[in-house]
Structure 1
Amino acid sequence: MKQTKRQMDIMRLLQIEKSCGVIELATKLGVSDETIRRDIKQMTQTGSVEKIHGGVMLPHSSLEPPFLRRLEEQRQEKQKIAKLAASIIGDGETLLIDNGSTSCYIAKELSAHRNMTIVTNSTEVARDLCARNNNTVYMAGGELRADDSAAYGPTAVSFAKQFSTERAILSIGALHGELGCFDFDLSEAEFKRAVIPQASSIVMVADHTKFNRPGVVKVCDFTRVDMLLTDQLPPQEIVDQIGRNHIHIA
């Protein structure tokens, strides 16, 4: 079931407020209470939200844990994906690598690669790849988040949009068979959406726990994904959307 624009607006409001009442949502979105209730019923069925008395909230499973904890979750799977990514990427490539736990493992696996040009908003990625093997690293400016010291906001987006790269390596928070690629933070999703047109090839990296997980903010449809690197074959509905030849399993 495809989310409507209004349902995406509800998700954006919940990303900020965490929970909202039906009347509050109806007022902010300029529709009737009954329309909001129909939206909530549909969104509850897909697992995007949870109903509470008089309103709706983000599901507990969609509240992303702090960055250091994410680094430890599915660590072995992420390391396998990172090794696979490094085997595909060649010396001298131009890459845009976003912030994310899997992206950080990929940066570590790329430590032996040479003559690369890297654009990133992640201080972790930049630290692992700068001043090494004649690589050039461009770090986006902007507001640094306390959780992971990554740069987000209009300044980071404007900086990244100056570059054109061969690949964009993007850690994605959720892959839904019907709805596409999602993240849990509006600023992360906005950064990904802005840089996708800047790369010739879009490589999504995600371990199996991201499959059919309820996301919060839409990043893109599966039509924008040129390659998915993962640790297990996704459910058939995701395979059908991306194409088996575009899925590589570590």
Structure 2
Amino acid sequence: MRLATMAQNYLLAPIQECPSDYLVKDIKLAVLGTGGVGKSAMIVRYLTRRFIGDYEPNTGNLYSRLVPVEGDQMFLQIQDTPGCIEVQEDVAQMLDSLTRCLKWADGFLLVYSITDYHSYQSIRPLYQHIRKIRPDSKIPIVIVGNKGDLAHSRQVSTNDGLQLANELGSVFLEISTSDNCQGVCEVFQYLCKEVSKKHSCGNGERRRSSLIPRPKSPNMQDLKRRFKQALSYKVK
């Protein structure tokens, strides 16, 4: 499968495009990965630096706020999941606990740290579990290599991230949450756009299927004429 390049280190999987003529009112994202990869920092950095106004951290590590997506204001909810995979044996247990979240979200960020090879190894089972829970869905998934500013402690090469994303048919971006907000904003905005596009496609299909030609309204003059004829017939 040939993948196009979007900005530096982006890999794009082919995604069906549909005319966006239907307003998507809410977008639900989940950020997944092992502990210590910077998931919470990414979310807070995006919500506090990209937009004007306060974001709302709700219970259960759920953040929400209005964000502009393709010229429309969308209600964005981001679920920050706990990084509870500390050893490889914990993967299956963690995946089971995430099932509810996977059914809830419209799109996913799978985050690893370039300084932690184990966190990189967790991305594939996370991706596979998402596809297992959502088998019929073309749900957007972005793979993120975080902590790009710690190149001196790197354990995962950029090519490793690109190769994994290529194999999984996903999108990849290597960023530094602490040094550069632009990369963080790009990855969230890209995912929001893909979710919006997917919803617009689905809603558009339902909308088009419901466009059944309605009968024309009767001509009022014609109704009056018939009514008068009926009255005159009764009088006779």
Place the TM-score, normalised by the shorter chain, in its bin.
0.3 to 0.5
What's the TM-score, normalizing by structure 1?
Answer: 0.32
Larger Cα Rg: Structure 1 or Structure 2?
2
| Structure with more strand by fraction | 1
- By relative contact order (CA 8 Å, sep 6+), the higher-ranking structure is 2
